[in-house]
């Protein structure tokens, strides 16, 4: 059975779970929050370097270019303001460990080695089991982003913007075509009128939407 997106209370519970608090809590929480608000696949997030996120003045960039993508096409996603505290909490630890280097993996362990996909999978699995949440899986965070992004662009279309919500979601999420994007979101399974039940608090802002449309 296809996994579903997070609801607001579920997302917060997973974020605060013992599973995500174990080990490097700021790093683990950033991975979850990034997937739910920016939509990268796990391997796309793990491929990031510190230099992809911070500039030479050690200032957080306005957007991240995901270069190692599934479809081979790099894409840029603006960093939502809600993510800034997550990034700076992890940056502090990287600085303390002497691991804040331009070519250092963003999501590394204490020895500077990139964490594995299996490690991230286990975080999700442990958190969902800990909280006894059903219907969720390792794709739930990215599906949360995709569901909310599609709902956002659908609302913009209803307000008169000349745009295809599914095509925009597919472009920003790095799907090869709108059919694969539609299957992933599960438009046949979810009532998009209920999108406010998902993580609507971390939807892209209007400014973000305008910038993304210009890419």
Domain end (from 130, 151, 182): 130
> Does the pLDDT at position 64 exceed 50?
yes
Domain end (from 130, 161, 179): 130
> Does the pLDDT at position 167 exceed 90?
yes
In this prediction, residue 72 carries a pLDDT of: 87
Whether 122 and 200 map to the same domain: the answer is no
DSSP codes of every residue in 110-142: TTSPBPPHHHHHHHHHHHHHHTT--S--TTHHH
Give the whole-angstrom CA distance, residue 126 versus residue 174: 28
Whether 151 and 124 map to the same domain: the answer is no
DSSP codes of every residue in the chain: ----PPBHHHHHHHHTSHHHHSSSHHHHHHHHHHHHHH---HHHHHT-BHHHHB-TTS-B-SEEEE-S-TTS--EEEEPPGGGHHHHHHHHHHHHHTT---TTSBSSB-TTSPBPPHHHHHHHHHHHHHHTT--S--TTHHHHHHHHHHHHHHHHHHHTT----HHHHHHHHHT-SSHHHHHHHHTTTTS-GGGGGGBSGGGPPPHHHHHHHHT-
CATH code, domain with 38 = 1.10.443.10
Report in angstroms the alpha-carbon separations of 100 from 43, 67, 209. 20, 20, 30
> Does the pLDDT at position 196 exceed 80?
no
Whether 85 and 176 map to the same domain: the answer is no
In this prediction, residue 70 carries a pLDDT of: 87
- Res. 214 pLDDT band, cuts 50 70 90: very low
Residues contacting 168, CB < 8 A, separation 6+? 149, 153, 212, 213
> Quick check: is 46 in a domain?
yes
Domain count along the chain: 2
Q: Which range among 45-49, 155-159, 176-180, 205-209 shows the weakest confidence by mean pLDDT? A: 205-209
Q: Summarize the confidence of residues 174-198 as an average pLDDT.
A: 67
> Does the pLDDT at position 46 exceed 70?
yes
> Quick check: is 189 in a domain?
yes
- pTM, rounded to two decimals: 0.86
Give the whole-angstrom CA distance, residue 160 versus residue 113: 48
> Quick check: is 175 in a domain?
yes
Give the whole-angstrom CA distance, residue 122 versus residue 138: 9
**DSSP E strand boundaries for 31-156:** 63-66, 75-78
The 10s digit of each residue's pLDDT in 70-86 is 888 899 999 999 899 99
Q: Which range among 37-41, 80-84, 85-89, 202-206 shows the weakest confidence by mean pLDDT? A: 202-206
Domain end (from 111, 130, 149): 130
> Does the pLDDT at position 21 exceed 90?
no
In this prediction, residue 106 carries a pLDDT of: 97
Whether 171 and 111 map to the same domain: the answer is no
């Amino acid at each position: 059975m296809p996994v579903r997106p997070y609801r607001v209370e579920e997302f917060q519970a997973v974020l605060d779970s013992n599973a995500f608090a174990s080990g490097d809590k700021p790093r683990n929480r950033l991975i979850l929050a990034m997937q739910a608000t920016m939509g990268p696949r796990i391997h796309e997030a793990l491929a990031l370097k510190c230099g992809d996120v911070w500039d030479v003045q050690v200032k957080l960039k306005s957007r991240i270019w995901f270069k190692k993508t599934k479809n081979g096409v790099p894409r840029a996603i603006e960093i939502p303001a809600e993510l800034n505290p997550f990034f700076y909490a992890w940056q502090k630890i990287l600085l303390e460990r002497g691991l804040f280097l331009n070519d250092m993996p963003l999501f590394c362990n204490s020895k500077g080695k990139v964490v594995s996909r299996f490690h991230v999978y286990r975080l999700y699995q442990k958190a969902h089991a800990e909280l006894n949440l059903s219907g969720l899986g390792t794709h739930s965070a990215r599906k949360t982003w995709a569901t909310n992004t599609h709902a956002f662009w659908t609302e913009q279309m209803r307000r008169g913007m000349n745009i295809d919500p599914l095509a925009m979601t597919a472009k920003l999420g790095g799907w090869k075509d709108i059919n694969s994007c539609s299957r992933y979101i599960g438009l046949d399974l979810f009532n998009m009128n209920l999108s406010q039940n998902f993580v609507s608090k971390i939807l892209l802002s209007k400014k973000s939407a305008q910038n993304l449309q210009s890419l």
